[in-house]
Amino acid sequence: MSALVELAWLIVAFPLAGALLLLMLGRRLGEPASGWLATCAMGGSFVATLLVFGGLLAHDATERQQVVTLFEWVPAGNLAVDVGFLVDPLSVTMALFITGVGALIHLYSIGYMHKDEGFARFFTYLNLFAFSMLMLVLSDNLLLTFLGWEGVGACSYLLISFWFTEDANASAGKKAFVTNRVGDWGFLVAMFLAFLTFGSLQYGEMFFEVESNGVAASTASGIVVLLLVGAAGKSAQFPLHVWLPDAMAGPTPVSALIHAATMVTAGVYLLVRMNPLLAEAHGWVPDLIMWVGLATALMAATIAVAQNDIKKVLAYSTVSQLGFMFVAVGSGAYVAAIFHMVTHAFFKALLFLGAGSVIHSMDGDQDMRRYGGLTRLLPLTSWAFVAGWLAIAGVPPFSGFWSKDEILAYTYGENRLAWFLLLCTAVLTAFYMTRLVLLTFYGSPRWSSDASSATTTDNTASDNTISNNTATDNTASDGTASDNTAGAALPERHPHESPWLMTVPLVLLAGLAVVAGLLNLPFSSDLHFLEKWLSPALYGNAAHVPFGGGTKWVLGIVAVLGSGVGVAAGVAVYLRNRISPDRIEHPFLVRAWRIDEMLANFMGGPGHKAFQRTAQFDQQVIDGVVNATGTTARRAGTLLRSFQNGMVRSYALFVAVGALALMVWFIARAGM
């Protein structure tokens, strides 16, 4: 093993050290030193990842799976868990984009969080998050992955409710936490089942067991389905997706880092990591994963069409794109899933950071109906944003096209109906992103009284749309309100380009979003860099496209046409005003298919009763046992207390009695 690979511990050590230092010194360092410290920690981590990457490249493809064990963590009988890192192409790929994108977002945050009271606290959380995420990705066993899994969940909670003085933010954090717990339950039970089956939680040992002794298909299916529950929770898949749109209450860099680029992809990572088990499961399990992903992708895309909050659109878009990745995993296209994960990390982080830049310049207003025509005022932001838009919309040669097209191709091979629905989703994606870009950067300005006076013919504007808060406008009345609503009392605004700290990451990410497609170009097998690189981690379980180049070309062209249709429709509706947006932005969609209401009704009705029963059981049986234990202990204590009389001579007598008992025991054993 080369010395460079051994450096894997440095990758996680940097952010951990950063978080600890900030925890101790954060307040004293203040702004901007604490931000720079955190950014340097991420930069160091990125460099370390590059070194490990280099070390891994130096190995032959067959030896690109190295375990770096730091120490024994849980030595408990049969269960032996080490703190160790599995350095293989999959984990290093993840670590590369986590640290790379993470470092850029840290840099951006220095500008974005300027003059915020919790500046140092923000970076402490951010570094802690990076540490947990890297633990999750690099760990060589399920338990350590779970540690990172819970760690990112906790950091996500802390960061969503970062501005906790607002009630809405605090409850959004709680919602994310509770929803994630449902998924965590699945992960935990899957872990127990895996330990029961394989007697180990280490990936290498589990997969070796699968390979050498095989595993019952039903067991593998059980583990994978439970993991799917966990993954659905973390990656916001139906029906556990409800937390992610609300998670946008956190600061925008957090949305970019955690709720778009890294944490939410953990579920996809987990499923890809466990691919040997997926291969052993019943045939319906991958189908289940695919249909869950597909349902999520389609549903979220339709919801995104009708949202007015810029971050909500991006949030639903993220849910939808994660659905794409699940479809890829379900089709066995692991490479495509990781490929899309990487490109998505670039362009979605870019879009969120761009949105953050816009929100920053609009003094915190997130309602797109009060944007418009910003391209002249925010040139850098808008150009970067346009790159991200074209990438996600699937316009060649931007990165999103290549990864999305690959997923579509694999799905076509798997199931034609799924392919068609996924194509519709892609069209919708292009449509809602076009809508977002046009409403924000083009058209006439609607953000100040001066600018809008010329275009305002609408006097029905109600006061509630003027409110300048960042909360979401999810009510039906807002949805039906005309999108060029402008009250007379809009505050004076001077949109301006963001400082260089914020634009530099934007430009870098835009560049990545444009060229990331080079990772895995479909034209020739020589250009499948990612596929070849990842193959050691996939154990030959990856699916192969079952048709030739001709079909591929046709599919590609269909996909491009789909994007074109989406973009054109967007332009027709929102720039040319051919169709009234009201006919598209249906209240049902604005309210996100009423899933929140349905969940609330269920939990308030039958669910509530079930919980009451459980609570009753808990009070009477579980608490009864616990209380009985306590009572017994107290009675025993009262009894024993009488021996503790303070008389030295009594104590001596007790010792003598004990010694006598020991003597009897030993002599009896000696066989007298």
Partner 1 sequence: METAVFIVCAVIVLAGSLGVVLARNPVHAALSLVGTLFGVAVLFLNLEAHFLAAVQIIVYAGAIVVLFLFVIMLLGVDRLEDISIEPILGQRVLATFVGLAGFGLGAAYIATSVEGATISTSSLLRVPASNLHHIAEVLFTDYVYAFEATAALLTISVVGAVVMTRRAGRNRVTQTTAGED
Partner 2 sequence: MVTSSWYLILAAAVFTIGAVGLMVRRNPLIMFMCVELMLNAVNLTFITFARDFADISGQVAVLFVLVVAAAEVVVGLAIVVAINRRWPLATADDLSELRG
Residues near partner 2, by CB under 8 A:
641, 644-649, 652-653, 656
CB of residue 639 to partner 2, shortest distance in Å = 14
| Strand-pair category, 66-76 with 79-87 | antiparallel
61 binds, among partner 2, partner 1, none (CB under 5 to 8 A by kind): none
657 binds, among partner 2, partner 1, none (CB under 5 to 8 A by kind): partner 1
CB of residue 640 to partner 1, shortest distance in Å = 18
For 139, phi then psi, to 5°, come to -60, 150
Residue number with CB closer to partner 1 (620 or 650): 650
CB 435 within 8 A of CB 576: no
Residue number with CB closer to partner 2 (613 or 635): 635
CB of residue 661 to partner 2, shortest distance in Å = 15
Residue number with CB closer to partner 1 (164 or 666): 666
672 binds partner 1 (CB under 8 A): yes
660 binds, among partner 2, partner 1, none (CB under 5 to 8 A by kind): partner 1
488 binds, among partner 1, partner 2, none (CB under 5 to 8 A by kind): none
CB of residue 663 to partner 1, shortest distance in Å = 5
Task: Select from 142, 136, 141 the least CA-distant residue to 91.
Answer: 136
670 binds, among partner 2, partner 1, none (CB under 5 to 8 A by kind): partner 1
CB 443 within 8 A of CB 373: yes
DSSP string, 469-530: --S---SHHHHHS-TT---TTPPP----PPPHHHHHHHHHHHHHHHHGGGGG-SS-GGG-HH
CB of residue 672 to partner 1, shortest distance in Å = 7
Residue number with CB closer to partner 2 (1 or 659): 659
663 binds, among partner 2, partner 1, none (CB under 5 to 8 A by kind): partner 1
Contact positions with partner 1 (CB under 8 A) in 589-648: 647
Residue number with CB closer to partner 1 (217 or 659): 659
644 binds, among partner 1, partner 2, none (CB under 5 to 8 A by kind): partner 2
CB 136 within 8 A of CB 148: yes
CB 368 within 8 A of CB 308: yes
| Chain center to CA of 38 | 21
417 binds partner 1 (CB under 8 A): no
667 binds, among partner 1, partner 2, none (CB under 5 to 8 A by kind): partner 1
83, containing H or E segment: strand 79-87
650 binds partner 1 (CB under 8 A): yes
576 binds, among partner 1, partner 2, none (CB under 5 to 8 A by kind): none
Residue number with CB closer to partner 2 (76 or 672): 672
Site size toward partner 1 (CB under 8 A) is 13
Residue number with CB closer to partner 2 (78 or 645): 645
657 binds partner 1 (CB under 8 A): yes
CB of residue 662 to partner 2, shortest distance in Å = 14
Task: Select from 490, 497, 496, 385 the least CA-distant residue to 447.
Answer: 490
24 binds partner 1 (CB under 8 A): no
CB of residue 629 to partner 2, shortest distance in Å = 22
DSSP E strands, 514-663:
none
641 binds, among partner 1, partner 2, none (CB under 5 to 8 A by kind): partner 2
User: Ramachandran region of residue 210, left (φ > 0), alpha (ψ -120 to 50) or beta?
Assistant: alpha
DSSP string, 219-253: HHHHHHHHHHHHHHHHTT-TTGGGHHHHGGGS-HH
Task: Select from 201, 465, 487, 513 the least CA-distant residue to 347.
Answer: 513
Residue number with CB closer to partner 2 (583 or 649): 649
Interface with partner 1 (CB under 8 A), residue from 28, 115, 576, 649? 649
- Measured CA to CA, the distance from residue 354 to residue 564 in angstroms comes to 23
- Measured CA to CA, the distance from residue 86 to residue 121 in angstroms comes to 31
Residue number with CB closer to partner 2 (178 or 660): 660
Stretch that binds partner 1, among 94-102, 284-292, 431-439, 650-658 (CB under 8 A): 650-658
Q: Which residues contact 572 (CB under 8 A, 6 or more apart)?
A: 578, 579
CB of residue 665 to partner 2, shortest distance in Å = 18
CA distance to 12, 382, 486, per residue, from 48 (Å): 9, 33, 51
CB of residue 641 to partner 1, shortest distance in Å = 17
- Measured CA to CA, the distance from residue 196 to residue 215 in angstroms comes to 12
CB of residue 650 to partner 2, shortest distance in Å = 9
87, containing H or E segment: strand 79-87
CB 394 within 8 A of CB 563: yes
CB of residue 650 to partner 1, shortest distance in Å = 6
CB of residue 647 to partner 2, shortest distance in Å = 6
CA distance to 139, 153, 194, 538, 634, per residue, from 147 (Å): 9, 10, 16, 23, 36
Interface with partner 1 (CB under 8 A), residue from 24, 600, 603, 664? 664
Query: Length of the chain, please?
Result: 672
CB 401 within 8 A of CB 395: yes
Enumerate binding residues for partner 1 (CB under 8 A). Answer: 647, 649-650, 653, 656-657, 659-660, 663-664, 667, 670, 672
